[in-house]
Amino acid sequence: MTLWNGSYPFYPGANACFPFDTTRAVIVTIFLSMLATFIIILPGIPGRGQLFWFLRSVLGLFIGAVILNVQFTRDWETGWVQANTSYKSFSHVQVNADIGLHIGLAGVNVTLRGNPVEQINETINYNEHFPWNFGVDYDRSYSEGLQKGLPSPILYVAEKFSTQSPCAVHRQYRITSHYVSLTLWLAFCTWLISILLFSMSILLYGGQMLLLTATLILFSLLLFSTARNTLRCPIQFGPVSLRTDYGESFWLALATGLLCLVLGLGIIILNSLQPEKLKLIFSLDKSSEEELWDKSCLPAQPSCSAQDGLMVPLGELCHRAATQL
């Protein structure tokens, strides 16, 4: 029974925390590669346009990376508590552990980490995910956890979000998460359109699309807040209770939405009040200078070579004519 490194071969081991999220790693790698490409191109941009072009690239990639990244994160709402609790069902053995709850748009993560990790001859380090996205049955994943014999604290927390729970929060969280995800995908599309409009030098419409992106992001945060404020029964572990608060993804999305709002309003205001400065920021002033130079050399205006001919004295001009004759 102990042929596999001292573990029982017929029972699953602990689902320990993976060092990093592969989806987030892929997204960050793609956007960092794009940023590195822009940095390589940067020396080819003349003059002070380098700084403005670099700032536009960094801000644009940051906004797109955040909108896409928070779709897959699991820390929109988080909470931790340290408690002495029973480890297995129908057992009086208690362990001291940190219990974490992480709520994302795709489901719930419950973490159990012992203090210390090695207790009662076991490694207590669990991280279980219970999804509720489209095509996935939350109650089925919870039943599978029961069949695997997961520790009691994990099953106790996961049971609060099941459809059979008297807390009745499963429907609110699941439906709200679906609408939040849809709104963020719309925000990602409007961000792409704004980048396309800016590249085509259509600055006013690009600012309006950026303002629409900010509206969609802030609206998604408002939707998630309505689900979180729903009354629910407490998650109690003896004398202490597990309380949750907004996580890193929520605050990061809020900062990105406010950034889009400021940038969109700034572009619209500059376009109406000081369009020359807006063209300078987007490196469009050089073309206007070339147009002014071309206009200054038109025949209607006495400039360039024609003006040089008029500067010749009249006597010298007559002397040249007599010499030619």
The 3-class SS string of 254-300 reads: HHHHHHHHHHHHHHHHHHHHCHHHHHHHCCCHHHHHHHHHHHHCCCC
Q: Which amino acid is at 309?
A: G
Please answer whether residues 38 and 31 qualify as being in contact, where contact means their C-beta atoms are separated by less than 8 angstroms.
Answer: no
Hey, where are the domains in the chain?
A: 22-72+171-230+247-278, 77-167
Supply the pLDDT for residue 308.
45
User: In angstroms, rounded to a whole number, what is the distance separating the alpha carbons of residues 6 and 146?
Assistant: 24
**Cis peptide leading into residue 43 (ω within 30°):** no
pLDDT tens-digit profile of 284-325? Answer: 765 444 443 344 444 444 444 434 444 444 455 444 444 444
Supply the pLDDT for residue 123.
86
- pLDDT above 60 for 206: yes
Long-range contacts of 142-148 (CB under 8 A, 24+ apart): 148/12
Q: What does residue 210 show for φ and ψ, rounded to 5 degrees?
A: -65, -35
Q: Residue 85's beta-bridge partner residues? A: 95
Supply the pLDDT for residue 14.
46
- pLDDT above 50 for 66: yes
pLDDT tens-digit profile of 113-144? Answer: 998 888 888 888 999 999 988 778 898 999 99
- The mean pLDDT of the chain is 80
Please answer whether residues 86 and 279 qualify as being in contact, where contact means their C-beta atoms are separated by less than 8 angstroms.
Answer: no
Q: What does residue 36 show for φ and ψ, rounded to 5 degrees?
A: -65, -35
Supply the pLDDT for residue 226.
86
Supply the pLDDT for residue 47.
66
User: In angstroms, rounded to a whole number, what is the distance separating the alpha carbons of residues 35 and 53?
Assistant: 12
User: In angstroms, rounded to a whole number, what is the distance separating the alpha carbons of residues 310 and 66?
Assistant: 63
Q: Which of 104-113, 157-166, 182-191, 287-296 has the lowest mean pLDDT?
A: 287-296
Q: What does residue 244 show for φ and ψ, rounded to 5 degrees?
A: -110, 160
Please answer whether residues 87 and 151 qualify as being in contact, where contact means their C-beta atoms are separated by less than 8 angstroms.
Answer: yes
Place of tokens 């709002």: 261
When pLDDT is averaged across residues 83-101 and rounded to a whole number, the result is 87
